[in-house]
Each structure stands twice: as C-alpha cells, then as structure tokens.
A and B are shown apart, each in its own frame.
Chain A
Amino acid sequence: MKPMLEIRGLTKTFPTRSAFGRATGEVKAVANVSFAIERGQVYGLAGESGSGKSTIARMIMGLTRPTSGSILIDGQDIAGQIGTRAHGARVQMVFQNPGASLNPRRTVAQSIAVPLVAHGFPRADQPRRISELLDMVQLQRAFAQRYPHELSGGQKQRVAIARALAVAPRLLVLDEPTSALDVSVQARVMDLLTDLGRALDLTFLFISHDLSLMRNFAQRVGILYLGEIVETGETPAVFEHPLHDYTRLLLASVPVISAEEEAMRPIIPLIDGEIPTAEKLLALRGQTQGKVTP
C-alpha cells in the first residue's frame, strides 16, 4: 500500500543577502529530509524552533516551494497541484496559534465556511455541514455566531480543527497545535484529535517541540536538527534508546515531576535554548560519557 505522505530528499535553502541586496550565501532550512507516513498513522516531527519543522509543514501545504526534492501525497506528487482544490481536499493544516489563524472580524461560521465555499460545497447545505463539524469538535452549535475573541484558546483551536476538517482531507498537518494553549487544555485537544483520527481514518503529521506530548501521541517520530532528520524510528525505541546526542539533549530538557521519570531521563547539563552546534554536542558527549542511560 502506498504511504499517505512520502517525502523524498526535501531541501529548502533561503538566500542570505547583504544590505545592498547582493546574494552572499544561503541558509539551509531543510536539508535532504526523507520520511513516509503510513495511512492512519501519527508521525511526530520533533525539534527546537529553527530546526526546519514549520518549513516542512509549509512546503507540504504549498505555502513555500521546495528547492529540491518531492512530496507525494497518496502516491501523487504535489508539485503540479499547489493551490488546486485537489491538493486542498487531501491535506489540511492546523496552525500553531489559534488566536492568529482565525480572522478576528469573522464569526466561527464564516471562518468554517471558507473551505466549503472554496471547494464548491452547495450553499444550502453549508449550515448543516457547519453544525456537523462543530459537533465533531465537541463545540455547541451556538458557537457558530460568535467571534474569536469570545472564545477561549482551546475553543478557538477546536474551531480551527473543524475548519481544517471541513472538506474531509485524508492527511492533517498539525503544526504545534497545542503549544499556544494552557497545559490543562492541551490534553483535551490531543484527545479530541486522537478520537477524530480514529473516527475519520485520518493520517497525522504532528509537529512539536514537546516530547512528552509526542511520546503519547505519535507512533513514529523523527528528530530534526538543523534541517536534517538525525534519528527516526518507532516512538518507544527512540525515546528509550536515543542514539543521537541531540535526541538525548532534547529528552533531557523535558521537565519531569515524578522520581520515576527523573530516573528515566538522561542526565546531561542543559544548555540555554539555542540550537547546539556539533562542537557543543561533542563536548557534551565527553562530559557525560558513562552517565547516559541505560
């Protein structure tokens, strides 16, 4: 069976320019990334900000053109289909910040109707479909007439999920869907996504820097470091036996609350939120040799 999403050798470079607009070099945001997601699976893409996660999501959605490499959805290359209905009907995206991804001047119903109108959904059936979608994301139908500022963060993200599901895509790209939300709300949104995935036979590409969420949600993960996937595999394997220094570092940065969790995590001196250079990683390896679990 063909994978739902297959990415082959995807690369994106951005030119850097001097103050006079002369090209001085280039930044590799994404470098030769390849992975595949089987139908119905959840694939987690983890990495810090600046590691190229969002650039990959934007290329899948057609918001950014890849420099080289190909993206296949359900076996078909998307290169010629950017911006078409066929592309939009197969893949949709839930953005990071629901406060910014909903137009503040438009009601919930108007926002959800955007994909319906764009995909030629009959006007007479729209109110029924909007109610159906609100039911799906467990929001009361009365919310249809509200404006985003009248909703909580979790409610807004549910609206964004309903909007992404409006034209029944098979693949959903979740770009940090819960990072703008309160912790107590995160779990409820993730539960909702899990349920929807099962009920609608959805495939997810779940992008996050939150490894504890990823551990619960994704079947396979890829660790992205400076635009490259440095480690990939089944979630339990990667999390219990991290092979790459950067993966260990990421795991060590996850805050823990219980003693058992504390015992499970690798002990590595934390660094300050910047993406570590290869030299720093090697230096860390020297310091922590022998201490790293198991």
Chain B
Amino acid sequence: MTDIPLTNAYQNWYRFSRNPTAMIGLVIVVICVLAAILAPYITPFPDHVGAVTNFRARHLPPSAVNWFGTDNVGRDIFTRVIFGLRISLLLAVVVLGIAIPVGTILGMAAGYFGGWTEIVIMRVTDVALAIPPLVMALAVAAVLSPDLLHSMLAIASLWWTWHTRMIYSITRQLRTQEFIEAAETLGASKFHILFREILPNCVSAIAVKTSLDCGFVILVGAALSFLGLGIQPPTPDLGTMVAQGASFLPDYWWESVLPGSAILFLALGFNLLGDGLRDLFDVEDVR
C-alpha cells in the first residue's frame, strides 16, 4: 500500500484519541481482552477455576490477598472474574461471528436485488425480530441441555436480524447511487457489486454496530447464566457467579456485586467504544 491510506489511518486515530469517552472505552476493552487472554498468568489462584474447595477460607471479605474476597467454597473471586471474562468475550465473538456475516449477506441481497428476494428475507427478519432473544434462549435451553454452546446458538439464531435490517437500509440507499449504476453499465458481476462496491461502504457501520453489540450480547449471555440456563458451574461465568452470590446478600455482598460490576465494566467499555466509533465514522443507521 502507499502512504495515503496510512495518512488516513493516522488522521482517524488522531480524531479518535481526542474523544475522551471513546478512549476510556478502548482502554477498558483492551484491559479486559488482555486480562482474559493472560488469565492463567496474571491471576493469583489459577487453580480456583475448577471445583476446588477450601472451607477454612469461605466468605472472606475483599483483602490484599483476595482482592474481591472469596465465595461460599473458599475460592478467590478475583481469579474467577478474570476467567469469567474469557467466557463472556468468547460468547460475544462466536455470536457476532455468526450474526454479522449472515446478517450482512442477507441484508445486502435484500437491499440490492429487491423483488421477491427482499420480500422473503425482510418478512422472515421481521418475524425473527418479534421474538425476544432471551425467550428464544430459554426455549432452546429447555429443549436442549443448558450449556455454553446452546446459549451461543440460541442468541446467534436471532441476533443476525439486527444486522440484516441495518445493512438492508444502507444498501437501499447505496443502490440508487451513481457508482452502483456505473458499475452495472461497466459490466460488473452481481458478486462484484455486492462485495466490492456495497460492502466497503458498510464497513464503518458494521464496526460501530459490532462494538455496541458486544456489550449487549455479553449482557444477554450473563442474564441466561443468571437464570441457570447458560454456563454451568464450576466453570467461572460472571452471570452464574452473580446468581450464586445473590443467595448470600447482603452480608457477603462482594460475591455478587463484584462479578456484577465486572459485567457492567465490560459492557460499558464496548458501548463507549461503539459510541466513539460512531462519532468518528459519522454513521447514522446504527441504533
């Protein structure tokens, strides 16, 4: 590549770095991702991830040794929160890894081809949009056994609809643009028009949406676990930890409040980052 796109990247970074909330969001996200990746090396008690018990250290309040205190079987909550970030981030990556390609391709096809393609895709999308993801996840978990894979599939099976609607509305606007007509008169294939002409113009909206969505997916995943339909103990999951700690409120408040704060922190980071990206790219179609 030449120096020109690099100059753009530098200018974009400069504008982004002037935006304090966006920078806070980025810092939070980077900290959480690094912590999740390096969890076995940075946590004080990596063996507390499993079914370890230490009844002499039950319900210890936060201290210099156990920063977030210990739970009802004596495990270090800080260690389990850091490992819990892994599950939340994995959930977000897998759900969005399915939802974004599916939603983007369907949205572009509906917006560009119109006619029956549009009618079929958009009506199916409308029906799917009417089902709350949590209800769908409850139904899937009730039919299949509750575990991480199933909650990912349940969330992903509905999440693509938001992306379909967004990409559809962008594509509808782009379709009447002269550069799409120019590509048609120049003989470009449908594949070329969809993936080379339209898709590059959706990238900034997708980036913003992805960041905002990470926060939402993590919240839905945590809600599922809280209801006992997501990740099962002893795997450390933030939602499960909040649920378990809730039975010891208010005396041992740290057991639910601190894992809950971690969910809040992570979701907040992604939302601030998404808002910052939205300001940077100046996209309006993203909710």
Contacts and interface: CB of A to CB of B under 8 A. Distances in A.
Interface in B150-196: 177-179, 181-189, 192, 196
A163 B1 CA distance: 22
Interface string A97-118: 1001111111000100011011
Contact of A104 (B1, B5, B188, B201): B201
A103 B187 contact: no
Given A63-B184, A103-B201, A114 B192 contact: yes
Nearest to B203: A105
B4 interface: yes
B164 to A, nearest CB: 21
B187 A146 contact: no
Given A95-B178, A100-B178, A118 B186 contact: yes
Interface string A76-95: 00000001010010001101
A110 B4 CA distance: 15
Contacts of B201: 103-105
B197 interface: yes
Contacts of A96: 178
A137 B182 CA distance: 18
A63 B185 contact: yes
Interface string B24-67: 00000000000000000000000000000000000000000000
Interface in A143-191: 145-147, 150, 160, 163-164, 166-167
Given A106-B197, A114-B192, A100 B185 contact: no
A29 interface: no
A61 interface: yes
Interface string A46-88: 0000000000000001110000000000000000000101001
B200 interface: yes
Contacts of A93: 182, 185
Interface string B1-17: 11011001000000000
Which one of B185, B189, B197 has the highest number of Cβ atoms from chain A below 10 Å of its Cβ?
B185
For chain B, the bracket of interface size reads 20 to 34
A176 to B, nearest CB: 12
A77 B203 CA distance: 41
Contacts of B197: 103, 106
A115 B187 contact: yes
Nearest to B179: A103
Q: Size class of A's contact patch?
A: 20 to 34
A87 B187 CA distance: 9
A39 interface: no
Contacts of B179: 100-104
Nearest to B1: A145
Contacts of A104: 179, 201
Given A104-B201, A106-B197, A118 B4 contact: no
A215 interface: no
Contact of A114 (B1, B4, B183, B200): B183
Contacts of A8: none
Contacts of A129: none
Q: Which of A61, A105, A118, A119 has the most CB of B within 10 A?
A: A105
Given A102-B179, A118-B187, 8 more contacts: A92-B186, A95-B182, A100-B177, A101-B179, A105-B200, A145-B4, A147-B4, A147-B5
8 contacts: A88-B187, A100-B179, A110-B196, A114-B186, A114-B192, A118-B187, A150-B4, A160-B182
Interface of B: 1-2, 4-5, 8, 177-179, 181-189, 192, 196-197, 200-201, 203
Interface of A: 61-63, 83, 85, 88, 92-93, 95-97, 100-106, 110, 114-115, 117-119, 145-147, 150, 160, 163-164, 166-167
